[in-house]
């Protein structure tokens, strides 16, 4: 897979706010449909964020791609079914808002990520806290604004200097029943 495309996938996943550890969210489960300039992502989570699958369909520079980013058992898996590849990474390798537990922000995490609260805003009828943060990922400095409800990012804007992108949840099914198979790692 093209290195630029992999970088973009990682950045999109981080902007989506996919969480990495247990008890990240204030609700047990959910299904979120998220739209961006490049496509659509459906995020499934269970057990307060201990399990999470992000299924992306996007078009970038003439390339169509479907990819799943799965987080469970302290690991992140990038799954490309069309190429029959699974890449395993340690959890916590994503940029900015995706690795931050917004339910339990500590002063150390705020300082390390330059997190500042920037007000409140309502998205999908949920009163979100708006945060700004800065991070460095793959040699690039990123500034991000995220709108968070119950630890869940409902909207994000990312500025990487040479590019900007955003995404927003357009549908949210709270306390959904998620089939266990949603979090299975395929055996190719």
pLDDT at position 50 over 80: yes
Tell me what percent of the chain is helix, strand and coil, each rounded to the nearest 5.
Answer: 20, 50, 30
Q: Which fold has domain 3-180?
A: outer membrane lipoprotein receptor (LolB), chain A (2.50.20)
pLDDT at position 119 over 80: yes
Residue ranges of domains in the chain? 3-180
**pLDDT tens digits, one per residue of 16-46:** 443 344 488 999 999 999 999 889 999 999 9
Distance between CA atoms of residues 44 and 157, nearest Å: 21
Tokens found for residue 167: 């995404």
Q: What is the pLDDT of residue 60?
A: 72
Length of the chain: 188
For the entire predicted model, the pTM comes to 0.81
């Amino acid at each position: 897979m093209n290195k630029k495309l992999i970088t973009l996938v990682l950045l999109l996943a981080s902007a989506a706010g996919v969480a990495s550890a247990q008890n990240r969210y204030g609700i047990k489960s959910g299904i979120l449909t998220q739209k961006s300039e490049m496509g659509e992502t459906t995020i499934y989570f269970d057990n307060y964020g201990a399990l999470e699958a992000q299924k992306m369909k996007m078009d970038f520079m003439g390339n169509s791609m479907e990819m799943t980013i799965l987080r469970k058992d302290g690991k992140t898996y990038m799954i490309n079914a069309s190429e029959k590849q699974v890449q395993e990474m340690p959890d916590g390798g994503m940029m900015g808002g995706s690795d931050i537990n917004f339910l339990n922000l500590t002063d150390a995490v705020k300082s390390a990520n330059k997190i500042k609260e920037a007000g409140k805003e309502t998205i999908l009828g949920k009163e979100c806290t708006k945060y700004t943060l800065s991070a460095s990922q793959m040699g690039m400095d990123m500034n991000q604004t995220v709108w968070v409800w119950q630890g869940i990012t409902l909207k994000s804007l990312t500025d990487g200097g040479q590019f900007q992108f955003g995404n927003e949840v357009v549908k949210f099914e709270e306390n959904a029943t998620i089939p266990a198979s949603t979090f299975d790692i395929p055996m190719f």
